[in-house]
Amino acid sequence: MGRSAVVVGGGVGGLAVAIGLRRIGWGVTVLERASALQDAGAGISLAANGLRALDALGVGAAVRQASRGQYSGGTRTPRGGWLARLDGAALEKAVGTPIRGIRRSALHRLLRQALPAGTLLTGSEAAAVRQTGPGTVRVDCGDTALDADLVVAADGVGSRVRGLLFPDHPGPVYSGSTVLRAVTGEPVDLPTDFELTWGHGAEFGHIAFPDGRAEWHAVLSLPAGTRFDDPLAALRRRFHHWHDPIPALLDAVPAEAVLHHDVHELRTPLPSYTAGRIALLGDAAHAMTPHLGQGACQALEDAVTLAASLAAGPTVDAALVRYDAERRPRSQQVARAARQAGRLGQQLSRPWAVALRNTAMRLAPSRATVRTVLRHHDWVPPRLG
């Protein structure tokens, strides 16, 4: 009889691992607590490592088609001066692709379409997971109990499964940054594919999509739970003197389109990504700040690595040991780097520190910038059997 897995969570990580498991011949059920598949978030950047993982899952071509290469842009000051230029062509030469921007809803749709109907069960919240024998694990979901050879917990930053497996772990903490973002209702005239602008304790950025629309995001250092009665008015006040096209981007969305989330991260690294026949994956295992745009890319790496490890065998238990050994050091290192990038980027607020950083960035040769980026992007997926 074939092997079976239950995946808890139908986000990018859960859907990706379900595709990977099916490609190696496993039966898979994905439990997603949301009853409607919403347009979670606005846009996302996928770097070479994430795109290579998607290639290994057989959906890379479709994602490339639905996304836009980030060839132009970079990091700017609020007055519009350039701190670093994005060299998409150099990245393409080095790793075969520039970073690509895609709407989250499009990425989710493409991942869902790669799964047979009936694999993803929405409105299905996993309440508990427990080992019921040396090789079996059970998920309680409403009135139903699902038995499987493996449970993959891809239930996000607030992972309930992680809490059950590691009750002494402190869990996620507030990163100090809150994010407001939206997608423009219509195409906008943008001079670049991707930009970040750093002020004192604030960042504004955009990602352009193939249809000419764009997402923008504003990241602010504020106490957790800060909310605005009128978010767009608050952002206009905060960013009114920042360079074009920032004011125009703020004007291009209706007030109700603005999403606002506090960013939490798993600052204390987990001691293991597996416990018995349960594997943690994506934000459940290593929620990181968005400052490197690597959270989903790391979830995609996890998904391919887990499937490849199970395909290589010789046993499920041996494969899980290898998954933990391969994924924990790398993803935790990327999470540390993301935190550091936030501290030196968006979160830096003392004027002398901002001036020092800006000078260092202006003097850095673009080759050095590309080399730094490649440290995280140049990942080669294992073969799926």
Ligand X SMILES: Cc1cc2nc3c(=O)[nH]c(=O)nc-3n(C[C@H](O)[C@H](O)[C@H](O)COP(=O)(O)OP(=O)(O)OC[C@H]3O[C@@H](n4cnc5c(N)ncnc54)[C@H](O)[C@@H]3O)c2cc1C
Contact residues for ligand X, defined by CB under 6 A:
8-14, 31-34, 44-45, 50, 125-126, 154-156, 160, 179, 217, 261, 263, 282-284, 290, 293-297, 299
3-state secondary structure 236-302: HHHHCCCCCCHHHHHHCCCHHHCEEEEEEECCCCCCCCEECCEEECCHHHHCCCHHHCCHHHHHHHH
Pairing of strands 202-208, 214-221: antiparallel
Going by C-alpha positions, the residue among 264, 303, 306 that lies closest to residue 287 is: 264
* Token pair of 258 as six digits: 């603005």
> How far is the C-alpha of 149 from the C-alpha of 184, rounded, in Å?
44
Query: Minimum Å distance from CB 349 to ligand X?
Result: 19
* Residue whose CB is less far from ligand X, 179 or 311: 179
Q: Calculate the CA dihedral of residues 266, 377, 198, 73 and round it to 10 degrees.
A: -150
* Centroid of chain to Cα 72: 22
Please choose, from the candidates 293, 281, 289, the residue with its C-alpha nearest in 3D space to the C-alpha of residue 326: 281
For strands 73-76 and 68-69, give the pairing.
Answer: unpaired
When the beta carbons of 11 and 20 are compared against ligand X, the nearer one is: 11
Amino acid in position 230: D
Of 4 and 358, CB closest to ligand X: 4
Q: Which is nearer to ligand X, 24 or 34 (CB)?
A: 34
